[in-house]
Amino acid sequence: MIRSGDAVQRLHKYKFIQILIVGLCTAVAGEVKITPFGAELFRIGLGAPVFLLFLLYRRSLNVVVTGIVTGAAVILYRMLLLWLNQPEAFSLLDGFRIHAAGGLYYVVYGSLFFFIKNRLNDYQPLVLGFVVAAIDCLANIAELSGRAFIYQAGYSHRSAGIMIALVAIVRSFFIIGLFSSISISRMRTIQAEQEKRMEQMLQIFAGLYGEAFYLRKSMDTIERVTANSYELYEQLKSDQLNGYGQTALRITQQFHEVKKDSQRILAGLLKLFDTEVVTEMSLKEIIHYVVKANSEYGNMLNKDVSIFKDIDVNYETSSYIPLLTVLNNLVANAIEAIKIKGFVSLKVYEKDDLTFFIVTDNGRGIAEQDAELVFEPGFTTKFNDKGIASTGIGLSHVKDIVRSFEGSIQLTTQKSGINSTEFTVSLPTNKIRKRG
């Protein structure tokens, strides 16, 4: 077992390694440079932009320590290059005097950056660009002052201040813009991933809601069968048919065990729909997820199905799971009814005190003799290649969910001209709309 002290030491070691990497990368990038004053005494290179980019991305690092280490790394790296280029004339002291002010730039930069580190998210990109440019200017002034102190001389270039300010603004805004673009791209990627996970979660919840609803209904049936079976046992017992009575009692006990097991399963499912944590979703969001999920379902079935939506009303609802369950089943059935190519339309509007959800398709339609049976339990017209009837909660359970909200569902078919099948779900608005 790792002790907390060892874990802290490893963390500090890992961060120091990162700081060393920042210093090395900055030192190497700094060699891509220009010398505006015609000598090696002062340079404008890529080291500062790279250093700023690291500070923006690795905010967990101590910026003061990072500045000090980076300054030391820059001095040592430049002295190494000087020794490699002029080994005979190289002097350790002269090398340090030449490049010490270059290292001072990063020390000052890191120290000044410390004061804005915890407020980076509070600044707009434009304001942050000017703040960072000011830090860059001050660090450059410190570097020039250091060189003037070392060489006991100043710079006579009148344009030095303007050039320093201009370069600081250009490279600061370039890095802030690059950082903002990358951050926005990452945020969009994360948002897309979160939306995908949300969609998957909603589809799972919608399926579980249907199964939970079906299980609760089955438990009511089991309860009635258990009671009837026990009444049969009592009747057989009073008629002194003890053998049959014992059989009826065993059946009653078995039904009772099934009921208890079903209760445990239902309790686990209902934990997923905790009413204490109410989450709302707008009707537009619900329709968005229904259209997106079923478009992918149509593609999976190798069908060219266009799904159109027409939303005339939009409000928040906490009953999004049952609505997703109902609409997903109706739209999925519509897609399955289309042979190769067709359309499905989904219209939502409010009239009087009712909210209507209308799902229409131009599939093969429903036979007239089946129109009155589609809502009956166990009825299906869909079978797989092996002749096994389709599973799912089916239209009978869709109807039960709709009725649980005191709503209604109607079927309209048209065979003349273009085939069309239309399911109209009407729900009392006050039953599904968020109050308050």
What contacts 431, CB < 8 A, 6 or more positions away?
A: 319, 405, 406, 407
**How far is Cα 71 from Cα 375, in angstroms, rounded to an integer?**
77
**How far is Cα 100 from Cα 290, in angstroms, rounded to an integer?**
65
Q: Nearest to residue 15, comparing CAs of 54, 62, 51?
A: 62
Q: What is the pLDDT of residues 250-288, one digit of tens each?
A: 887 787 777 777 777 777 766 666 544 447 889 998 898
**How far is Cα 209 from Cα 202, in angstroms, rounded to an integer?**
10
Q: What is the pLDDT of residues 15-57, one digit of tens each?
A: 888 899 999 999 998 887 766 555 555 566 788 889 999 999 8
**Residue 24 CB: number of other CB atoms within 10 A?**
16
pLDDT of residue 6: 66
Q: What is the pLDDT of residues 113-172, one digit of tens each?
A: 999 988 888 888 889 889 999 999 999 888 888 888 887 765 555 556 777 788 888 888
Lowest mean pLDDT among 53-67, 189-203, 323-337, 381-395: 381-395
- State the average pLDDT over residues 231-246: 80
Q: Nearest to residue 331, comparing CAs of 360, 354, 351, 366?
A: 360
State the greatest distance between any 2 C-alpha atoms of the chain, in Å, as a whole number: 123
pLDDT of residue 296: 86
Asked if 70 and 102 touch (Cβ cutoff 8 Å), the reply is no
What the block records as the tokens of 50 is: 């790279």
**How far is Cα 41 from Cα 104, in angstroms, rounded to an integer?**
13
Cα 206 → chain centroid? 19
Dihedral sign for Cα 294, 298, 299, 305, please.
negative
The packing angle between helices 47-57 and 63-85, to 10°, is: 150
Asked if 325 and 211 touch (Cβ cutoff 8 Å), the reply is no
Between the alpha carbon of residue 24 and those of residues 13, 28, 78, 82, 128, the distances in Å are: 17, 6, 11, 16, 26
What the block records as the tokens of 408 is: 């209604």
**How far is Cα 156 from Cα 163, in angstroms, rounded to an integer?**
13
Q: Is 341 helix (H, G, I), strand (E, B) or coil?
A: strand
What pTM was computed for the model?
0.54
The whole-chain average pLDDT of the chain stands at 81
Q: Nearest to residue 414, comparing CAs of 405, 406, 423, 404?
A: 423
pLDDT of residue 278: 47
Does residue 432 have a pLDDT over 80? yes
User: Residue 76's pLDDT band (boundaries 50, 70, 90)?
Assistant: very high
Contacts by residues 164-167 (CB-CB < 8 Å, ≥ 24 positions apart)? 164/137, 164/140, 165/133, 165/137, 167/44, 167/136
Asked if 61 and 15 touch (Cβ cutoff 8 Å), the reply is yes
